[in-house]
């Protein structure tokens, strides 16, 4: 899938939304994403549910393509980088990190990031317990650590939109949800559900397909 972009201005900063479930902050050469859930496919397979390993392969390829496309120097994950216990999926991600030694990986811990800090340190990932403030933004996993005095960029809710066509035809698409004090990112992994209920009724949503990013 080709990378399609759309620039939006927030707090006098330009953020580049993509149809690849991540945004790029060019001023800081930072790729920002949420809810990668590494380990989820292996977790399900361990429970006897035949989830294909190609899901993680595709997610990591997409991430690699974005790093290359933007020449990102930092990858900031706003929560749920991992899903559960240490398993074979994490072994695959460790190789991915080794292949990207020049990129700094940072994590705002999410509700699924339950591994010990020493584990993240062993992978070379910088960890923030609740949030990271940079310039006009606060990066968090969910709204718990947001406030009206600073603009939050978060994940967690897996936002999506329901687009209705003629008759009973409809389609769900992932989206970015923008409100007065917050931008919620779509889940980066495709192995997640979509929540089509907006957290703020007046929010603007940016849905995307293989060929476009558009305001809804």
CATH label of the domain that carries residue 137: 3.60.21
Q: Which pLDDT does position 12 carry in this prediction? A: 95
Q: Which domain holds residue 15?
A: 5-215
Give the model's pLDDT for residue 48.
Answer: 53
Q: What is residue 49's predicted lDDT score, i.e. its pLDDT?
A: 47
Dist CA 190 CA 177 (whole Å): 17
Q: What is the mean pLDDT of residues 56-62?
A: 93
DSSP 8-state symbol, 4: -
pTM value is 0.92
Q: What's the total number of domains in the chain?
A: 1
Mean pLDDT of 164-191: 89
Beta-bridge partner residues of 172 = 162
**Which residue matches tokens 């979509």?**
194
For range 136-153, the mean pLDDT: 92
- What average pLDDT does range 26-55 have in this prediction? 73
Q: Is the pLDDT of residue 45 over 80?
A: no
Most confident of 56-60, 71-75, 88-92: 71-75
Instruction: Tell me what pLDDT residue 56 has.
Output: 87
Residue 60 pLDDT > 60, yes or no?
Answer: yes
Rounded alpha-carbon distances, angstroms, from residue 109 to 10, 14, 112: 24, 25, 8
pLDDT digits (tens, 9 = 90+) for 92-126: 899 999 999 999 999 999 987 888 889 899 999 99
User: Which range among 28-32, 51-55, 56-60 has the greatest average pLDDT?
Assistant: 28-32
pLDDT value at residue 18? 98
Which pLDDT score, from 0 to 100, does residue 168 have?
Answer: 72
87 vs 107: which has the higher pLDDT: 107
Residue 44 pLDDT: 47
Backbone angle region of 79, left / alpha / beta, with phi > 0 → left and psi within -120 to 50 → alpha: left
């Amino acid at each position: 899938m080709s990378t399609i972009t759309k620039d939006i201005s927030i707090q006098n900063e330009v953020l580049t939304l993509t149809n690849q479930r991540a945004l790029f902050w060019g001023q800081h050469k930072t790729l920002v994403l949420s809810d990668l859930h590494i380990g989820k496919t292996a977790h399900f397979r361990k429970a006897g549910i035949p989830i294909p390993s190609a899901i993680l392969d595709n997610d990591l390829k997409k991430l690699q393509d974005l790093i290359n496309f933007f020449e990102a120097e930092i990858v900031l994950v706003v929560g749920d980088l991992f899903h559960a216990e240490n398993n074979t999926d994490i072994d695959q991600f460790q190789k991915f990190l080794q292949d990207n030694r020049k990129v700094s990986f940072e994590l705002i811990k999410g509700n699924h990031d339950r591994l010990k800090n020493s584990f993240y340190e062993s992978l070379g990932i910088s960890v923030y317990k609740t949030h990271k403030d940079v310039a006009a933004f606060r990066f968090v996993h969910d709204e718990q650590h947001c406030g009206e005095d600073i603009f939050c960029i978060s994940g967690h809710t897996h936002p999506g939109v329901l687009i209705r066509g003629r008759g009973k035809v409809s389609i769900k698409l992932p989206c970015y949800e923008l409100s007065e004090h917050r931008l919620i990112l779509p889940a980066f992994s495709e192995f997640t559900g979509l929540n089509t209920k907006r957290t703020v009724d007046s929010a603007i949503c940016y849905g995307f397909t293989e060929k476009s990013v558009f305001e809804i």
